Amino acid sequence: MNNFRDIEQLSSYLDGQLSPSESARVESRLSSDPKLASAYNDIRAARGILRKLPARKAPRNFTLTRQMVGLKPPLPRTYSVFRFSSALAAFLLMLTFAANTVMPRVSFGASAPAPLAQGNYGSGGGCDGGCSGDVPESVVTEVVVAEAPSIEFAAAPTNALPSTSADSARNAGTPTVAAVMPKDSGNESALQDQPAVKSEAVVPVVWQIGLLMIALVSALFAFVMSRSAKKKWS
């Protein structure tokens, strides 16, 4: 029985892959070893059978189409310009919508007295004693008093029920709910009297329409160019 090393050498010898010295050594062994010669003939016969196999023709042509390999038609340079301008216009349009939604420009009516508005929308109770200048004193006091009930409401249930003189004396320093209410309602009426807040769009609608038109027209041009290029390609 020949070992695998011998078989490998015989296989290489059969294909002419051995050096001249190795080939000479194999040939001398083949002439003296009938088993090796038998194995060699078997390998040669097996190779001969394989080589005799009829070559099979392709059942169809395997030529490729542009679609099969995903080739895209060559597009004119202006195509990318239109595509870019369309994308940019669409992006800017979205920005204008966002700007108009998030950052509305707030303005007040011209008839609103500035000091009053400042007093009511300002720091609330932060003006006790510190506010000065043109703000009338009565207004400042009203604002301070108006803020006080928010603290008083928490203690109101216990303080409001009994109405002894001692309690009245103890509570004299702070106004009761009943005492505050009229002032509070007066404050609401003051708020109602203020001028209406009017908001305006940051970006005018005309600009938005313009951007929309640019986006649509550019996209349309890019689409037409792409279609015509594909038509020519096919």
Minimal distance, residue 20 CB to other proteins, in Å: 17
CB-based contacts of 120-129 (< 8 A; 24+ apart in sequence): 120/190, 120/191, 120/194
Query: Residue 196 burial by CB count (10 A; 0-12/13-18/19+): exposed, middle or buried?
Result: exposed
39 to 78, contacts with other proteins by CB under 8 A? 39, 41-66, 68-69, 71
Q: What is the DSSP letter of 201?
A: -
Q: By CB under 8 A, tell whether 23 contacts other proteins.
A: no
Q: By CB under 8 A, tell whether 208 contacts other proteins.
A: no
| Window of 36-44, 108-116, 127-135, 137-145 that interacts with other proteins by CB under 8 A | 36-44
* Residue from 37, 148, 201, 214 binding other proteins (CB under 8 A): 37
Q: By CB under 8 A, tell whether 38 contacts other proteins.
A: yes
Q: Within its chain, how far is the Cα of 121 from the centroid?
A: 38
The residue (of 38 and 150) whose beta carbon lies closer to other proteins is 38
Minimal distance, residue 51 CB to other proteins, in Å: 6
Planar angle of CA 134, 123, 113, nearest 5 degrees: 40
SS3 107: strand
- Footprint of other proteins on this chain (CB under 8 A)? 4, 7-8, 10-12, 15, 17, 37-39, 41-66, 68-69, 71
